């Protein structure tokens, strides 16, 4: 019962039919009630079984991050929103806790991944339909004025009542695919699609079953990639490239993988898939991002321990950091950055350890491998997007932690290797903190 409620909540979290088709039901707060039922039943079930898909260190880190978010806000020049900050992060932290309470078996883990795949495919179908027909385009397509027309007379723009994104050749607008809920930003939508692609592969790919693979993997995968292109998210394109390089390099070889990446770049350039927005550091929005990173480094220098305060970045700059790592150390300081980065490092190292200790090709090994690819793709996007506290990140971390738990659970107690149980993450966290901060400084100075 508890897992079914959890699975329904995950499906409806990523695909929001109420907001899309029945907004009048929003006043009844159906997602809140579903979440409440899922939490209560999951806590009762976990207590009865005395099992959760995470270790005490994971709970300590997520609780520590919650506390540091509140402390950073309380000690900032604008402490009045401390409770709002804690409440705001509760969406992500409670999704994490709900997930690790339920992801205790490999079957549950795979079923949850399939639910995410289904939800994102539905988002793609309705989003692409909106892009090509105009139906629900106000909810599923973001209209932005093209940079070339920023200073033009608005009276000369096309009639917005009749224009359809796919047929608009006026050059006035950038049309970017998105969804609703926490995927209402095109970059968020694209980032989660990048995260979902390896899960799609795991859900449907079967060796030597060409028709099955075409219908269940290749066609849906092409749909997702097309949707990513329609978001015009440059960070997502880089995330997609990282997926290909790290995910298929072993199967295709380095040369073929590089050729495939080169073909993607050519398609992007020829098809103008980023809407004319360049990847160059001299392009206007890229320059603004670099300037924003300078602000982030300055905030860290001024407030090295607790940062400028959760959500306060925009008090110092009109743009957000456009980098999840910069946003974290700027707002939460080195303490918050250590806890946030520590959760990521511990999770990633646990996946690596799982892949080292389990037989290659076993079900638990395959799941861990796919989720590691999802994590690589997501974090690549996160380097260019301010998604430090987003629900998708903490849900993905919960999936990866669940994969580690299932790997340990799949082995008899007396055969579980000690390296799989004990993972030294603190030293690597400190190293990665220094490396990322130094990398941002080096990039800023080079520009």
Residue 424's pLDDT is 87
Shared-domain flag, residues 268 and 339: no
Shared-domain flag, residues 310 and 447: yes
Across the range 303-310, mean pLDDT stands at: 94
Q: What is the count of structural domains for the chain?
A: 3
Residue 184 clears pLDDT 80, i.e. is over it: yes
Shared-domain flag, residues 128 and 98: no
Residue 35's pLDDT is 93
Assigned domain for 319 exists: yes
Shared-domain flag, residues 373 and 434: yes
Q: Is 129 exposed, middle or buried (0-12, 13-18, 19+ CB in 10 A)?
A: middle
DSSP alpha helix (H) spans, 358-425: 363-382, 391-409, 418-421
Among 257, 277, 297, the domain boundary falls at 277
Share of the chain above pLDDT 90, in %: 58
Shared-domain flag, residues 140 and 24: no
Dist. CA 405–CA 420, nearest whole Å: 10
Residue 247's pLDDT is 64
Among 229, 246, 277, the domain boundary falls at 277
Total Cβ atoms within 10 A of residue 44: 13
Assigned domain for 56 exists: no
- On whether the CB atoms of residues 231 and 184 are closer than 8 A, the answer is no
Among 277, 298, 331, the domain boundary falls at 277
Across the range 152-172, mean pLDDT stands at: 78
Dist. CA 190–CA 206, nearest whole Å: 26
Question: Which segment of 39-43, 155-159, 210-214, 384-388 scores lowest on mean pLDDT?
Answer: 155-159
Q: How confident is the model at residue 276 (pLDDT cuts 50, 70, 90)?
A: very low
- pLDDT, tens only, 38-61: 999 999 999 998 889 999 999 999
Total Cβ atoms within 10 A of residue 55: 17
Residue 261 clears pLDDT 60, i.e. is over it: no
Comparing C-alpha atoms, which of 149, 145, 224, 164 is closest to residue 190? 224
Residue 150 clears pLDDT 70, i.e. is over it: no
Residue 27 clears pLDDT 70, i.e. is over it: yes
Residue 410's pLDDT is 80
Residues 6+ apart with CB under 8 A from 432: 341, 345
Residue-range definition of the domain harbouring residue 251: 110-277
Shared-domain flag, residues 249 and 318: no
Rounded to the nearest integer, the mean pLDDT of the chain is 87
- pLDDT, tens only, 14-26: 999 999 988 888 7
Residues of the chain by 3-state class (helix, strand, coil), percent to 5: 75, 0, 25
Q: How confident is the model at residue 283 (pLDDT cuts 50, 70, 90)?
A: low
Assigned domain for 241 exists: yes
- On whether the CB atoms of residues 5 and 37 are closer than 8 A, the answer is yes
Q: How confident is the model at residue 285 (pLDDT cuts 50, 70, 90)?
A: low
- On whether the CB atoms of residues 194 and 384 are closer than 8 A, the answer is no
Residue 342's pLDDT is 96
Which among 111-120, 139-148, 349-358 has the top mean pLDDT? 111-120
Shared-domain flag, residues 423 and 413: yes
Q: How confident is the model at residue 351 (pLDDT cuts 50, 70, 90)?
A: very high
Across the range 1-12, mean pLDDT stands at: 94
Q: Which carries the bigger pLDDT value, residue 259 or residue 230?
A: 230
Assigned domain for 291 exists: yes
Shared-domain flag, residues 294 and 423: yes
Q: How confident is the model at residue 414 (pLDDT cuts 50, 70, 90)?
A: low
| Phi, psi at 331, each rounded to 5° | -90, -35
Dist. CA 444–CA 435, nearest whole Å: 14
Residue 274's pLDDT is 46
Residue 210 clears pLDDT 50, i.e. is over it: yes
Residue 377's pLDDT is 92
Shared-domain flag, residues 301 and 364: yes
Assigned domain for 55 exists: no
The per-residue DSSP string of 231-243 comes to: HT-HHHHHHHHHH
Shared-domain flag, residues 124 and 195: yes
Place of tokens 């999840």: 324
Shared-domain flag, residues 167 and 136: yes
CA 272, 278, 282 angle in degrees (round to 5)? 165
> How distant is the alpha carbon of residue 443 from its chain centre?
24
Shared-domain flag, residues 222 and 122: yes
């Amino acid at each position: 019962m508890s897992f079914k409620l959890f699975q329904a909540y995950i499906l409806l979290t990523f695909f929001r039919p109420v907001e899309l088709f029945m907004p009048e039901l929003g006043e009844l707060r159906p997602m809140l009630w579903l979440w409440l039922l899922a939490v209560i039943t999951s806590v009762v079930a976990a207590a009865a079984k005395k099992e959760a898909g995470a270790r005490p260190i994971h709970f300590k880190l997520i609780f520590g991050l919650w506390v540091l978010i509140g402390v950073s806000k309380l000690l900032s020049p604008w402490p009045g929103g401390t409770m709002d900050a804690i409440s705001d992060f509760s969406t992500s932290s409670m999704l994490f806790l709900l997930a690790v309470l339920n992801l205790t078996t490999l079957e549950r883990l795979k079923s949850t991944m399939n639910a995410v795949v289904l939800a994102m495919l539905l988002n793609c179908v309705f989003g692409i339909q909106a892009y090509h027909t105009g139906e629900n385009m106000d909810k599923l397509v973001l209209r932005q004025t093209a940079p070339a027309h920023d200073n033009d007379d608005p009276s000369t723009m096309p009639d917005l009542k009749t224009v359809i994104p796919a047929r608009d050749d006026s050059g006035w607008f950038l049309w970017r695919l998105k969804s609703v809920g926490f995927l209402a930003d095109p970059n968020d939508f694209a980032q989660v699609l990048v995260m979902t692609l390896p899960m799609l592969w795991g859900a449907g790919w079967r060796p030597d079953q060409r028709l099955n693979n075409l219908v269940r993997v290749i066609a849906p995968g092409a749909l997702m990639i097309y949707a990513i292109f329609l978001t015009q998210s440059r960070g997502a394109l880089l995330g997609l490239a990282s997926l290909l390089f790290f995910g298929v390099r072993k199967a295709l070889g380095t040369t073929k993988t590089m050729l495939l990446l080169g073909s993607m770049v050519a398609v992007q350039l020829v098809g103008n898939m980023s809407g004319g927005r360049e990847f160059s550091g001299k392009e206007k929005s890229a320059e603004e991002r670099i300037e924003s990173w300078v602000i982030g480094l300055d905030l860290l220098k001024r407030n090295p321990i607790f940062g400028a305060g959760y959500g306060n970045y925009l008090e110092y700059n009109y743009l957000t950091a456009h980098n999840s790592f910069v946003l974290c150390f700027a707002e939460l300081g080195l303490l918050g950055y250590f806890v946030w980065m520590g959760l990521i490092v511990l999770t990633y190292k646990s996946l690596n350890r799982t892949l080292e200790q389990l037989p290659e090709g076993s079900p638990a090994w395959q799941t861990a491998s796919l989720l590691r690819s999802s994590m690589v793709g997501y974090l690549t996007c996160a380097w260019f997007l301010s998604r430090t506290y987003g629900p998708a990140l903490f849900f993905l971390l919960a999936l990866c932690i669940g994969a580690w738990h299932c790997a340990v659970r799949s082995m008899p107690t007396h055969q579980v290797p000690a390296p799989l149980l004990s993972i030294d993450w603190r030293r690597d966290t400190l190293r990665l903190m220094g490396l990322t901060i130094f990398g941002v400084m080096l990039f800023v100075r080079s520009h």
